[in-house]
A and B are shown apart, each in its own frame.
Chain A
Amino acid sequence: MAFDMSKRSSYFLISPMALIFAIFLVVPLLTIIVVSFWDYDEYRILPDFIFENYKYLLGSSVTWQIYLNTFKYAALTWGFTLLIGFTVAYFLAFHVRSLTWQIVLFMLCTIPFWTSNIIRMISWIPFLGRNGLLNSALMGLGIVDEPLEFLLFSDFAVVLADVHLYTLFMVVPIFNSMMRIDRSLIEAARDAGASGFETLRHVIVPLSKPGIAIGSIFVITVVMGDFITVRLMSGGQSASVGLQISNEIGLLQYPAAAASAVVLLVTVLLIVTALLRMVDIRKEL
Chain B
Amino acid sequence: MTTDNSKTTKNLLSTKEVTRRGFVKGAAATAGVAIGSGAITGFPTIWAQNIKDVTLRQFGTGVSNINAVADKVKEDLGFTLQMTALDSDAVAQRAVTQPKSFDIADIEYWICKKVFPAGTMQPMDTTKLKNYQYISKLFIDGKLTPDSEIAQGTAPHTVGFVEGADSVEFASAPTQWMTLVPTIYNADTLGIRPDLIERPINSWADLLDPAFKGKASILNIPSIGIMDAAMVCEAMGEVTYGDKGNMTQEEIDKTIAIMIDAKKAGQFRAFWKSFDESVNLMASGEVVIQSMWSPAVAAVRSKGIACKYQPLKEGYRAWGGGIGLAKHLTGLELEAAYEYIDWYLSGWVGAYLNRQGYYSAAPATAQKFMSEDEWGFWMEGKEAQGDILSPDGKVMEKAGAVRDGGSYEERMGSVACWNSVMDENKHMVRKWNEFIAA
Instruction: Tell me the A residues contacting B by CB distance below 8 Å.
Output: 41-44, 56, 60-62, 65-66, 69, 126, 129-131, 149, 152-153, 231, 234-239, 244, 247, 249-253
Contacts and interface: CB of A to CB of B under 8 A. Distances in A.
A60 B430 CA distance: 9
B22 to A, nearest CB: 33
B433 A62 contact: yes
B421 interface: yes
A174 B319 CA distance: 55
A126 B114 CA distance: 38
Given A43-B117, A153-B286, A253-B429, A239 B89 contact: no
Given A62-B433, A235-B269, A239-B436, A250 B118 contact: no
24 contacts: A42-B114, A43-B118, A44-B118, A62-B437, A130-B284, A152-B286, A231-B273, A234-B270, A235-B271, A236-B436, A237-B263, A237-B268, A237-B270, A237-B436, A238-B436, A238-B437, A244-B433, A247-B436, A249-B93, A250-B87, A250-B93, A252-B92, A252-B93, A252-B97
Task: Determine the main DSSP class of B at the interface with A.
Answer: helix
B312 to A, nearest CB: 24
B286 A130 contact: yes
Among all A-B residue pairs, the 7 with the closest Cβ atoms:
A235-B270, A236-B271, A250-B89, A239-B437, A43-B114, A153-B270, A62-B434
Contact of B433 (A41, A231, A237, A247): A247
Contacts of A61: 434
Interface residues of B, number: 35
B96 A43 contact: yes
Contacts of B281: 235
A42 B286 contact: no
B429 A239 contact: no
Given A42-B425, A250-B87, 19 more contacts: A43-B114, A62-B430, A62-B437, A129-B284, A129-B286, A130-B284, A131-B284, A131-B286, A231-B273, A234-B270, A235-B269, A235-B281, A236-B272, A236-B436, A238-B436, A247-B436, A250-B93, A251-B429, A252-B92
B201 to A, nearest CB: 20
A50 B324 CA distance: 35
Nearest to B422: A42
A65 B433 CA distance: 11
B34 interface: no
B92 A43 contact: yes
B295 to A, nearest CB: 21
Given A149-B214, A250-B90, A236 B220 contact: yes
